[in-house]
Amino acid sequence: MEQLLSIGAEALRKAALNEDAKAYVLNNEALYKLMKKAADRYIGGENLSETLIKVQDSNDTGFKCSIEYMGESTRSIMQAAKATDEFLDICKAIEQKNLNSTISLDLSHIGLEVSESLCYEHLSKICETAKDREVIISAEGTERTDRILKLYQNGSKKYANLSITLQAYLHRTTDDFEAMCNERGRIRIVKGAFETAKGLSLPRGQELNNRYIYFVEQLLSKGHPCSIATHHHEIQQEVKKLIDTLKPNKELYEFESLFGIQTDQLAQLKDEGYPTKLYFVYGQEWYLYLCNRLAEYPLNLFRALQDIVESK
């Protein structure tokens, strides 16, 4: 069974990166509607207005949230500027509605592949518009890691509301972690889901789980703001033990889950008094996101089929 799940996960990750498959789904009206039914479980909506309703509902039940406009790898100044405008709208909507929410983004979505200077200009606008709301830089493929961390370090010196994501499965993160701890922003720890070249990362398993817990323990011990972004129940339980021992200020940490994935576990943590956050994404570029969510646990394919069959 484990081998079959691994094969399924690998196939789904490859499908996520297949531009021809993505174009076929998004341009085929019938297939688009079917796949969208499966995606609805995991996304806030196709536009910001739909997502804000879900964020408000989540706030009302005690969850902090984060909002991301889906998309990456803009290749022109115009595309990057358009995406940046959408993130500025998110910042303004959060303030206007007084939502308990942060903003998350991929740097490649706001111009990283056009130029680093353009990307930094756009990131600065977003940080300034967000004011005291946190802006979290998401993780991307390893070919972008150096540039992402460089821009974060530059931005962190100016913007106190800027945070970074580190991927525990990458071997390089052991060194990156020490450097990022010297910056003031929150460090969001994820396991990592991108396909990498051989030798660059750990596979899923106990060694990765131990490394993840090590990073979190270091952050809690140092009193450095952190986000524990994992759905792994055993890791959550181990981190709870660390928190109960170290007793950090609740402002310093949060448990985070993606909307639609094992939300019951996050609700349990919330009910136990731990700070929690639901991560919402929205937009029409949901194909990659759906494939990656299914790849994390391929048995979710059966749930996707159920969503397709039962949704009206």
| pLDDT confidence of residue 146 | 98
For the segment 106-127, the average pLDDT, to the nearest whole number, is: 98
Sole residue written with tokens 């358009």: 82
- Orientation angle between helical segments 29-39 and 300-310, nearest 10 degrees: 120
Alpha carbon of residue 239 to chain centroid: 19
- What is the biggest distance separating any 2 CA atoms in the chain, rounded to whole angstroms? 54
- Give the model confidence (pLDDT) of 75-104 as tens digits: 999 999 999 999 999 999 999 999 999 999
In this structure, are strands 101-105 and 64-69 parallel, antiparallel, or unpaired? parallel
Per this entry, what is the length of the chain?
312
| pLDDT confidence of residue 18 | 60
| Residue 167 is labelled as binding a ligand | yes
Per DSSP, the residues of 181-211 read TTSSS-EEEE---S---TTSBPPSSHHHHHH
| Residue 44 is labelled as binding a ligand | no
Domain locations along the chain: 1-42+286-312, 66-279
Residue 69 has pLDDT above 90, yes or no: yes
Angle, alpha carbons 42-192-113 (nearest 5°):
85
| Residue 9 is labelled as binding a ligand | no
| Residue 192 is labelled as binding a ligand | yes
Domain 66-279 has CATH 3.20.20.220: yes
Higher per-residue pLDDT: 66 or 194: 66
Nearby residues of 266 by Cβ (< 8 Å), 6 or more positions away: 63, 255, 256, 257, 276, 278
Minimum mean pLDDT among 42-46, 96-100, 191-195, 280-284: which range? 191-195
| pLDDT confidence of residue 194 | 83
- Orientation angle between helical segments 287-296 and 29-39, nearest 10 degrees: 50
